[in-house]
A and B are shown apart, each in its own frame.
Chain A
């Protein structure tokens, strides 16, 4: 391992993380909800329970963020190296298994760890380990 100091952005990472933590706290404090994106999206696909409107409003806010960013800061840097077949496989896996495991980076990683949930700690260690292993295989065994 060698740290890529040119890519490392400690202050914006910390500040951005604090905004994420603030948003997750506000959703709990004001709405009594967990800011887990896979759960918020997954709830939209289940049978209507009159609970869809806040989910759509929250996701609308997410989608509006880059528009506000473009108007004030500039074009965000988004680089996707994966090809379309990989993206489709990745999307299927992320969709199916976040529902099976009841959460993703936000629900388990941010909210669950903030709640000191043992389930979320196990889930977070699982997806981190699998993420590290997958990138190792793709980049260093197959030469990505």
Chain B
């Protein structure tokens, strides 16, 4: 896989997080605080992202191979099960506690934000613990 292309796409994604303000946990929490002074910005970020995504995925989602000739690796499951819901709820609690989700937290590393390093280290540990737990069960 051409690594430069993956790098540039990551860069574009990160610039989107910066421009939208979603790299800033205080702004994310301003959206999640429905009962306080509400900042609806995150909803418009989703509208913009999904609006473009619907076109991209709609036009290219059914292909057998990517434009660069790589196999399409898209999820095929359609069933809603308990881990999906519990995972979503647990993630939402962590998101609401600090205002960081994975993309903005990793991007904030590049801004030298020390609290992002602590969050990402804990997140990696959480992912590793999940792997260990999954092996046992």
Contacts and interface: CB of A to CB of B under 8 A. Distances in A.
- A and B from one complex: yes
Interface of A: 1-4, 7-10, 12-35, 37-38, 41-42, 45-46, 53-55, 57-70, 73, 75-82, 84, 86-106, 108-115, 117-119, 122-136, 138-140
A100 B130 contact: yes
Contact of A126 (B6, B85, B118): B85
B123 A92 contact: yes
A119 B20 CA distance: 26
Contacts of A55: 6
24 contacts: A4-B37, A8-B41, A18-B49, A20-B13, A20-B16, A26-B56, A34-B75, A58-B13, A62-B107, A89-B94, A91-B123, A92-B122, A92-B126, A97-B93, A98-B87, A105-B101, A117-B75, A119-B75, A126-B88, A127-B89, A130-B92, A134-B97, A136-B35, A139-B33
A96 to B, nearest CB: 4
Interface in B69-88: 70-75, 77-80, 83-88
Contacts of A127: 88-89, 91-92, 95
User: Interface residues of B toward A: which range?
Assistant: 35 or more
Interface of B: 1-27, 29-30, 32-42, 44-58, 60-61, 63, 65-68, 70-75, 77-80, 83-103, 105-111, 113, 115-116, 118-131, 133
Contact of A119 (B56, B71, B84, B96): B84
B24 to A, nearest CB: 5
Given A4-B30, A18-B48, A130-B92, A29 B19 contact: no
Contacts, number: 496
Contacts of A138: 96-97
Given A7-B37, A101-B91, A127-B95, A87 B115 contact: yes
Contacts of A28: 56-57, 60-61, 66, 72, 74
Contact of B16 (A23, A64, A91): A23
A65 B65 CA distance: 29
Given A61-B13, A65-B11, A115-B61, 4 more contacts: A17-B20, A32-B73, A57-B10, A75-B111
